Amino acid sequence: MRKYFTLGLVFTLIMGACNKKDQTQEIHVDEQCVIDIPSTLVKTTELHPEAVVQFKDANQELYVIVIKEPINEVNQFFEENQNSLGDQFTKDFKGYADLTYLALLQKAKVDTPILLEAKNINGANAYVVNFDASVSGLDVFYNFAAIKGKTDYYQILVWTLNTKKEKHKVEMDKIINSFRMLE
């Protein structure tokens, strides 16, 4: 009898651990939008000083940040810097996506940059890309999205070690694709 009880307890613990991996927590980025983050990730403040959302699972080497920038401030930036930006960036959401992606690429060593792909994420215009890079000697896999909200642009960056890319790729895509505007 004790043997069956022990087996039942072990089975329950294993199933509980498996279920937690599949569970998500709905995180309010702000009053306008939410994103689903795996329950295994915990809130942190150490990933990026400008991020409004930051979560990590250091054991699994999985990290998520969301940066929010008011559209009117981005437009003002484009106006004030049009001479230095030249014609390289359009003064719209596509230009913003290109500029933020380029800034990310400049911090990472990338053999072959991949073009951003236009996409619709739950009714919002977005540009997304996945790419491998080297940062501070570590091989990293990134999933990046720039998303246009009603009054703000959002950057979502999800990353892991390249050695964990296959393990986390689907989950990383789910995080990006879970972003949605509230009515």
How high is the pLDDT of residue 88?
A: 79
**Cα 39–chain centre separation:** 15
Q: What is the pLDDT along the chain (183 residues), one digit of tens a residue?
A: 555 544 444 444 444 444 455 799 999 999 899 999 999 999 999 999 999 999 999 999 999 999 999 999 998 998 888 777 777 788 899 999 999 999 999 888 887 878 999 999 999 999 999 999 999 889 999 999 999 999 999 999 999 999 999 999 999 999 999 999 997
Nearest 5°: the CA angle 7, 8, 13 is: 100
Q: Alpha helix (H) ranges present in 32-92?
A: 71-80, 82-85
How high is the pLDDT of residue 113?
A: 77
**What are the backbone angles phi and psi of residue 92, rounded to the nearest 5°?**
-150, -165
pLDDT in tens, 66-77: 999 999 999 899
The candidate with the shortest Cα–Cα distance to 24, out of 175, 130, 177, is 175
How high is the pLDDT of residue 161?
A: 96
Which amino acid, 45? T
How high is the pLDDT of residue 7?
A: 44
How high is the pLDDT of residue 126?
A: 98
